[in-house]
């Protein structure tokens, strides 16, 4: 579906224009911002959400507010997008918060933590569970204001050159894995590597990596991982509902007119929906193609899942004891997740489980 068609369907352009356009056309300033993405143009969904956002802002402001989108590497490397915003090199970026866990592990909660929230829970926590306020209190220490602007849905566990039958098979494995999850899986003997999306395939092909994870079937097929690794594992327990954000330089955000703040917030919410809807639509066919081409689909063994959960909980306790911001975010998110599952197991899980078991009958 073309972006313009999507915006008409969602009602964003019409709604925002009806409210804001008269004021913008008469009195709002003309602004030109730059947005650096953490992703290459070839990944048309995770990168494309940034473009969809910028197009929505331009259309609703009658082109008075234009945001030019740059792919990873055009201004700064993908994993330095937040640094460019923090320093004021660019006004904003589209990125995954957990890429910057090296600055402070609390950044992880903006995207996903191992055994954390699924995508709907992540959205609910951010918008109505206090997550956005909690995280923006934290981000302001880095001169950043953040708005949710995408979600991939639950991710895959990644591509492995060899089959993983037990926990010991992970020992010494060199794996590309994003964010804080690398510290968890290191407890199981894995040697984590944080590498930008466009650089993963060459490393896997050369043998610098033994395994990698990215997003899911649609992107993984584009990146060609099936050509150099055979075993495709699930689930990505470290990314049950990974959220992307628009990071905005705090001073630039504070200086915006209220109408433009409202417009950016609304367009960011649209991008948040746009990205997951597009992945959900594209992943099933891509998974069929990958399996037909020889990918060996495997669930992580229960022993690996259990060991990973224990390692994650141990690490949360260790980091929380040394970092008050991390502990506050973890406890808030955990309480929200546990309450959510009280409801989830009654309706959502029961409904989905029944239909999965009975697909052939309907």
Under the banding of pLDDT at 50, 70 and 90, the label for residue 27 is confident
Is residue 277 predicted with pLDDT exceeding 90?
yes
CATH C-level class of 3-151+240-282: alpha beta
- Model pLDDT, residue 26: 60
Please tell me the distance from the alpha carbon of residue 39 to that of residue 56, in angstroms, as a whole number: 20
The full set of domain ranges for the chain reads 3-151+240-282
User: Are the C-beta atoms of 199 and 267 separated by less than 8 Å?
Assistant: no
Match 């990873």 to its residue by tokens: 72
- 36-85 pLDDT, tens digit per residue, is 999 999 999 999 999 999 999 999 999 999 999 999 999 999 999 999 99
Is residue 6 predicted with pLDDT exceeding 50?
no
Please tell me the distance from the alpha carbon of residue 143 to that of residue 83, in angstroms, as a whole number: 10
Is residue 224 predicted with pLDDT exceeding 70?
yes
Is residue 280 predicted with pLDDT exceeding 60?
yes
Two tokens, residue 185: 């899986």
Please tell me the distance from the alpha carbon of residue 53 to that of residue 50, in angstroms, as a whole number: 5
User: Are the C-beta atoms of 50 and 94 separated by less than 8 Å?
Assistant: yes
Please tell me the distance from the alpha carbon of residue 43 to that of residue 150, in angstroms, as a whole number: 14
Two tokens, residue 206: 């050369």
């Amino acid at each position: 579906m073309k972006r313009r068609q999507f915006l008409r369907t969602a009602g964003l352009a019409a709604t925002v224009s009806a409210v804001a356009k008269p004021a913008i056309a008469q009195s709002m300033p003309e602004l030109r911002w730059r947005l650096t993405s953490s992703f290459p143009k070839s990944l048309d969904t995770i990168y494309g959400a940034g473009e969809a956002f910028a197009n929505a802002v331009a259309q609703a402001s009658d082109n008075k507010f234009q945001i030019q989108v740059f792919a990873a590497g055009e201004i700064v490397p993908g994993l330095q997008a937040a640094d460019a915003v923090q320093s004021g090199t660019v006004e904003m970026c589209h990125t995954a918060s957990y890429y910057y866990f090296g600055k402070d592990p609390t950044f992880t909660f903006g995207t996903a933590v191992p055994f954390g929230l699924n995508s709907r829970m992540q959205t609910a926590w951010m918008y109505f569970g206090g997550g956005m306020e909690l995280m923006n209190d934290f981000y302001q220490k880095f001169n950043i204001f953040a708005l949710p602007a995408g979600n991939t849905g639950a991710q895959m566990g990644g591509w492995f050159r060899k089959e993983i039958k037990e926990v010991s098979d992970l020992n010494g494995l060199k794996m590309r894995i994003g964010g804080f999850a690398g510290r968890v899986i290191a407890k199981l003997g894995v040697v984590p590597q944080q590498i930008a999306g466009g650089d993963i395939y060459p490393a896997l092909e050369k043998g610098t990596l033994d395994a990698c994870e990215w997003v899911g079937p649609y992107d993984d097929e584009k990146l060609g991982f099936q050509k150099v690794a055979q075993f495709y594992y699930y689930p990505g327990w470290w990314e049950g509902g990974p959220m992307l954000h628009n990071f905005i330089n705090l001073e630039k955000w504070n200086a915006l007119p209220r109408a433009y703040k409202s417009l950016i917030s609304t367009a960011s919410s649209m991008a948040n929906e746009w990205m997951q809807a597009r992945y959900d639509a594209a992943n099933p066919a891509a998974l069929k193609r990958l399996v037909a081409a020889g990918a060996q689909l495997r669930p992580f063994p229960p022993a690996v899942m259990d060991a990973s959960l224990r390692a994650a909980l141990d690490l949360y306790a260790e980091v929380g004891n040394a970092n008050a911001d991390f502990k506050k975010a973890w406890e808030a998110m955990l309480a929200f997740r546990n309450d959510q599952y009280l409801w989830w197991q009654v309706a959502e899980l029961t409904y989905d489980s029944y239909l999965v078991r009975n697909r052939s009958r309907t």
